[in-house]
Structure 1
Amino acid sequence: MNLNHALIAFAIAALVGLYLASHVLRAKFAPWVASLLHAAFGATGLVVLIVLFLQGSATQSILIGFGVLVLAALGGFLLASFHLRKKIAPKGIVLVHAGVAVAGFLILLSQVL
């Protein structure tokens, strides 16, 4: 596994996340299947990064990107709590979650480009 695998997983999570955000920003309840796919791809990306750490092939920038993405994941858990309660998540939290995730993704992407 390498950083490209993590980036692919995060990119897919981001695309599904855009779909989810489009629902929330229109004050509609997002589909559960999409939420689970988003979480699964995000978690896959994080696991790939953990494997890189364990192999000793992660740079300090990758560690920083990982930390930022863990913060995004914590925001994702907060958003999931709204979903579980059958409430539409606050738009501000969705936007912060997305912004933090994009920042983490760009930090990782800078290592490839």
Structure 2
Amino acid sequence: MPNQSLKTEELLGSREIRFIDRKESNYPNLMRMCMDFDFCVLQLQRKVYSHITNRYLSDSQAFVLTTQDYRTNDTPAITPICDTLSKLEEHVTRHQVDILHDYLFGATNEDASSAG
């Protein structure tokens, strides 16, 4: 599974999405990844340069799964950037085994060579 780098020059900002109640979560797989493993869901605001206002403006919001140490480590995103939390939940549900395998055992040499 290819990882995407979170390039800060492309971001206007980000915030962590917190999952608090296991019983009432609308996104059970995202909640499990964050509460039981060392993952974090980030809501990203990508920036786009507006020639009309001559400044950077917020583009659409996006969501991504990354590890908790994204602040101190140049951590690639674990998932592709998704437009909604629902789409991120769907992606994590489909690829949960691969995500956990890479997290627990690291990416194999085969994965690294095919990504380059």
Query: What's the TM-score, normalizing by structure 1?
Result: 0.30
Higher Rg: 2
Query: What's the TM-score, normalizing by structure 2?
Result: 0.29
Query: Which of the two has greater helix per residue?
Result: 1
Query: Which of the two has greater strand per residue?
Result: 2
